[in-house]
Chains A and B, each alone.
Chain A
Amino acid sequence: MTEFVGSQYLIEAIYLIASALFILSLKWMSSPATARHGILAGEIGMVLAIAGTLLHHGIVDWKWIIVALVLGSGIGIPLGMVQMTAVPQRTALSHAFGALCVTLVGTAEFYLQTPHVPRFTMSVLSMEVILGGLTFTGSLMAAGKLQEILPQRPITYKGQNFVNFLLFAVAVGSAVYLVLHPGATQLFPLIVGVSLIFGVLLVIPIGGADMPTVISLLNSYAGLSAAAMGFVLQNKLLIIAGALDGSSGLILSIIMSKAMNRSFTNVLFGAFGQVQASAAGGQEAKPVRNATPEEAAAILAAANKVVVVPGYGMAVAQAQHKVRELYDMLTKKGVEVRFAIHPVAGRMPGHMNVLLAEADIPYDRLIEMDEINGDFPQTDVALIIGANDVTNPAARTDQSSPIFGMPILDVDKAHTVMVIKRSMNPGFAGIDNPLYYLENTLMLFGDAKQFVGGIVRELGGGH
């Protein structure tokens, strides 16, 4: 490396402070009480780092930097204002943007330095563009599926895993060859291109229910690619930020895969989406009991303890504000209402918490699965709104069920179970839910928002 110029020391000092602020920022995220300090710390760190970078002695032209910064901010503001229900696709999109940045910078660095790229730099540079490339297209696919531009159903074909493995092997193999033979520059576009295709193919077999795991995993890849970029540019701030993001995504992926009873290696190798192959057996029409909003309201009003189990269906129906009205109404009547949150409910980690918080439901009413499961036997009513597989008792008992072993919310142990559902169609994974045929289960057929609205009207009008 060239000698440090005066300004370089200043920049390194600023980066050091920014790194500390980034770590504090994440540390303060551990509790809702301090989380907003965390944002402030992150913002200060970011502004310092960008301002410091502008002092870089090599910078001779500011015009395009300013234009790009302004343009990016202009795009960022509407992306920060999306509705809470659109947060999963926004998150996927921002993973794509982050990965795009890393891939483009990596590509530019390669062509500026080639063919005199040191071997180590070339290996991390390959890692940077492979991870960046696959995260870019993979995240775009995920965002498209979440936004329902692309089909939500998993797209599978014979030999899928083999094709994916082959593509990955081609990308890595070419990278290794390029490291050993720096003159073979024509391989670089191949590495980038194959990674981009690999990203697409990796995500198409994934259905909606696996999205929390996939988004977390893509988050982790985006972080690792940024860390690799830090190695290429010898920028420690980037290495630290990338490592933090990478480990955050990794932890979330592990939590998500545990909550779905998938081994982590299974997830890592992209073998998500295999559940959908389940047999939709048991077609004989079993009797179910159903109820009207009036009946449901009467049962809820008579209860002491109610646990609401929200799922993706609640988000789709935009029912969270009606649920909040129900919560208010029941609380006023002296009913204890809590919410049971399964780790993979919704389309990304923590999705339900954000939606319910948006609807002004206090966060101390949102209870994690492990904490609330013991309380179901003492619960009068478990009201399930748009959740399916996470309440399926077959996961506990039926060894042949594709979700056997997955931790579930033990709603069937409540005195009365009420399930708001559009119809008897099985949920996303196509697995029949024996819960619906239990004696203590009442099916409330209809749109979640309208049905909850109906219950609220009954509760309000009654007395």
Chain B
Amino acid sequence: MSSTLIDSLFVFMLAAFIGFEVIRHVSPLLHTPLMSLTNALDAIAVVGAIVLVGERKSEYATILGVIAIVAATSNVVGGFFITDRMLRMFKTSRPVKK
């Protein structure tokens, strides 16, 4: 038990450092799409809700889990969708029309 806990803490620490290093290099130009993307990725919490609903351990847990899946899935779908829409709009300057 305690060794898995320590493992998890190591994972968290390393992921946080990777996050810092990677995101520090994101251009301010893309801060809005960055936020909607991390939002979509964060909705991976849906996997916890899926297991909760699927295991059907209690009525309450299922109800809470279903709401949780709906909320997270809407973030996944909406988040990726809008990030893609935003990024498609970013164009570099073509040679100016005569």
User: Min CB distance, B9 to chain A, in Å?
Assistant: 8
Complex CA–CA separation, A248 to B41 (angstroms): 12
Complex CA–CA separation, A435 to B67 (angstroms): 51
Residues of A within 8 A of B39 (CB): 91, 94-95, 98, 219, 222, 245
Interface size on A, residues (CB 8 A): 115
CB-based contact A357/B18 at 8 Å: no
Interface size on B, residues (CB 8 A): 85
Residues of B within 8 A of A118 (CB): 1
Stretch from A148-156, A161-169, A363-371, A443-451 contacting the other chain: A363-371
Closest to B7 in A: A236
**Contacts A42-B80, A244-B15, A331-B96 known; A350 to B41 CB distance under 8 Å?**
no
CB-based contact B77/A73 at 8 Å: yes
Residues of B within 8 A of A368 (CB): 28
CB-based contact A105/B52 at 8 Å: yes
Closest to B16 in A: A243
Complex CA–CA separation, A215 to B38 (angstroms): 13
CB-based contact B12/A227 at 8 Å: yes
Residues of A within 8 A of B93 (CB): 362, 364-365
Residue-wise interface mask of A (38-63) relative to B, using a CB-CB cutoff of 8 A (1 in contact, 0 not): 11001101100110011010111110
Pick from B15, B24, B65: contact of A251, CB below 8 A: B24
Within 8 A of B (CB), among A59-82: 59-62, 64-65, 67-69, 71-73, 75-82
**Contacts A100-B71, A222-B42 known; A32 to B27 CB distance under 8 Å?**
yes
Within 8 A of A (CB), among B36-50: 36-50
Closest to A99 in B: B71
CB-based contact B4/A1 at 8 Å: yes
Residues of A contacting B: mostly = helix
CB-based contact B28/A239 at 8 Å: no
Closest to A132 in B: B45
User: Min CB distance, A199 to chain B, in Å?
Assistant: 16
Stretch from A280-288, A302-310, A341-349 contacting the other chain: A341-349
> Is there a chain B Cβ closer than 8 Å to A289's Cβ?
no
Pick from B12, B41, B61, B86: contact of A42, CB below 8 A: B41
Within 8 A of B (CB), among A112-127: 112, 118, 120
Residues of A within 8 A of B70 (CB): 68, 71-72, 75
Residue-wise interface mask of A (87-118) relative to B, using a CB-CB cutoff of 8 A (1 in contact, 0 not): 10011001101101110110111011000001
Closest to B32 in A: A350
User: Min CB distance, B44 to chain A, in Å?
Assistant: 4
**Contacts A60-B55, A73-B74 known; A244 to B30 CB distance under 8 Å?**
no
CB-based contact B49/A101 at 8 Å: yes
**Contacts A46-B41, A350-B29 known; A90 to B82 CB distance under 8 Å?**
yes
CB-based contact A233/B67 at 8 Å: no
Residue-wise interface mask of B (65-87) relative to A, using a CB-CB cutoff of 8 A (1 in contact, 0 not): 11111111111111111111111
Complex CA–CA separation, A120 to B5 (angstroms): 9
**Contacts A50-B50, A91-B39 known; A35 to B87 CB distance under 8 Å?**
yes
Q: Which of B24, B42, B51, B79 has the most CB of A within 10 A?
A: B42
Pick from B19, B71, B73, B89: contact of A73, CB below 8 A: B73
User: Min CB distance, A243 to chain B, in Å?
Assistant: 4
> Is there a chain B Cβ closer than 8 Å to A240's Cβ?
yes
Residues of B within 8 A of A349 (CB): 28, 31-32, 34-35
Complex CA–CA separation, A83 to B34 (angstroms): 17
Q: Which of B25, B32, B43, B47 has the most CB of A within 10 A?
A: B47
Complex CA–CA separation, A246 to B31 (angstroms): 14
CB-based contact A238/B15 at 8 Å: no
Residues of B within 8 A of A61 (CB): 53-54, 56
CB-based contact A348/B52 at 8 Å: no
User: Min CB distance, A356 to chain B, in Å?
Assistant: 9
Stretch from A22-30, A176-184, A293-301 contacting the other chain: A22-30
Q: Which of B15, B20, B83, B86 has the most CB of A within 10 A?
A: B15
Complex CA–CA separation, A366 to B62 (angstroms): 49
CB-based contact B78/A77 at 8 Å: yes
CB-based contact A105/B87 at 8 Å: no
**Contacts A32-B90, A247-B19 known; A238 to B47 CB distance under 8 Å?**
yes
Within 8 A of B (CB), among A224-245: 226-227, 229-231, 233-245
> Is there a chain B Cβ closer than 8 Å to A353's Cβ?
yes
CB-based contact B72/A72 at 8 Å: yes
**Contacts A53-B47, A363-B29 known; A77 to B77 CB distance under 8 Å?**
yes
- Residue pairs across A and B with Cβ atoms less than 8 A apart, 21 shown, are A29-B30, A39-B87, A43-B80, A53-B50, A59-B54, A64-B65, A75-B77, A81-B85, A91-B35, A98-B75, A104-B64, A107-B64, A216-B35, A230-B8, A237-B47, A249-B35, A251-B23, A350-B31, A350-B33, A354-B33, A363-B29
The 6 lowest CB-CB distance pairs between A and B, nearest first, are A72-B73, A80-B81, A76-B77, A59-B54, A350-B31, A247-B19
- 7 further interface pairs, Cβ-Cβ under 8 Å (given A105-B48, A234-B4): A46-B41, A76-B78, A76-B79, A80-B77, A98-B72, A242-B42, A349-B34
Which positions in B face A, CB cutoff 8 Å? 1, 4-5, 7-8, 11-12, 15-16, 18-20, 22-58, 60-62, 64-94, 96-97
